[in-house]
Amino acid sequence: MRRIAAVARRELGSYFNSPVAYIVIVFFLVFTSAWFFFVGQFFARDTATLRGYFSVWPLAFIILLPALTMRSWAEEYRLGTAEILLTLPFRERELVLGKFTAALALLGLLAVLSLPVALLVAPLGSFEPGQIAGQYLGVLLLGAAGLAAGLFFSALSANQISAFLFGVVFLLFITLIGQVPSLLALPLWLARLLSWLSFDYHFDSFSKGLLDTRDAVYFLVLIAWFLLLTTRVLLLRRFR
């Protein structure tokens, strides 16, 4: 655990020693708030609910999460520090978990900084704390899955740009694939499969403040899978 914490501290320091973290935080807070209040017309709806606010998070994550993870390994390769890290007495999974923990901590900071929006609209209606907690749990699980995928693509990429593009394409695909059955006439089994694969399908219940363990398991399996793949990539690089 101490080795994972050491890697996480190093990674957090690299986030805040560059403008990336600050740009991402400002972009995310401004974009989601503006969408909720102005594009989503919260006040005109005359319905006090945060569902519209949390529903826009997956769209923002398509850009935000790859921006957070693109440097994680691609930059290490460019600077030559990846080879140094891999020669240290750290296991590959410790390096991967350390970088993932740092990215997850930054995602948690984003969630905390978004709380003023919830507090602002709370007096306008009757909000259940459990419902809001479920919505935050959903965005954190979805975001963690996106971060794990972003770390994998960064480990595969030789530079930040390609890592960012791969991450954006994947998140765009996995987020919107559930809309394909509404656009094309597909066999029922294929339509159901595409819907089940999409982030939107599994995030929908969370956006309503509902906790479905099947949706939570979906995100947790994706997180574990991409972290395992990233570990395998590093193992191949170590013995290449």
Output the DSSP codes for 133-170.
Answer: HHHHHHHHHHHHHHHHHHHHHHHH-SSHHHHHHHHHHH
Taken as a whole, the chain contains a residue count of: 240
pLDDT at 44 over 60: no
pLDDT at 48 over 70: no
pTM of the entire predicted model: 0.90
Residue 157 pLDDT: 86
pLDDT (tens digit per residue) in 17-32: 878 788 888 888 888 8
Residue 62 has φ and ψ, to the nearest 5°, of: -60, -35
Least confident among 49-53, 99-103, 228-232: 49-53
Instruction: State which of 86-100, 159-173, 183-197, 200-214 shows the largest mean pLDDT.
Output: 159-173
- Pull the structure tokens for residue 61: 């994550």
Between 124 and 53, whose confidence is greater? 53
How many structural domains are present in the chain? 1
Between 221 and 86, whose confidence is greater? 221
pLDDT bin (cut points 50, 70, 90) of residue 13 is: confident
Q: Provide the residue range defining the domain that includes 206.
A: 2-238
Residue 94 has φ and ψ, to the nearest 5°, of: -70, -40
pLDDT bin (cut points 50, 70, 90) of residue 145 is: very high
Asked if 117 contacts 53 with a C-beta cutoff of 8 angstroms, the reply is: yes
Asked if 114 contacts 29 with a C-beta cutoff of 8 angstroms, the reply is: yes
Residue 61 pLDDT: 92
Q: Report the pLDDT averaged over residues 198-202.
A: 86
pLDDT bin (cut points 50, 70, 90) of residue 166 is: very high
Q: How far apart are CA 155 and CA 68, in angstroms?
A: 13
Between 199 and 147, whose confidence is greater? 147
Residue 182 pLDDT: 73
pLDDT bin (cut points 50, 70, 90) of residue 101 is: very high
pLDDT at 217 over 70: yes
pLDDT at 104 over 60: yes
Q: Is the dihedral of CA 80, 81, 86, 88 positive or negative?
A: positive
What's the chain's average pLDDT? 84
Per-residue burial over 182-221, b if 16 or more Cβ lie within 10 Å, else e, is: eeeeeeeeebeebbeebbbbbbbbbbbbeeeeebbebbee
Number of CB atoms found within 10 A of residue 240's CB = 5
Sequence-distant (6+) residues with CB within 8 A of 164 are 66, 67, 70
pLDDT at 150 over 90: yes
pLDDT at 59 over 80: yes
CA 210 from centre of chain: 20
* Closest among 117, 170, 110 to 139, alpha carbons compared: 110
Q: How far apart are CA 174 and CA 61, in angstroms?
A: 12
pLDDT at 237 over 60: yes
Between 80 and 8, whose confidence is greater? 8
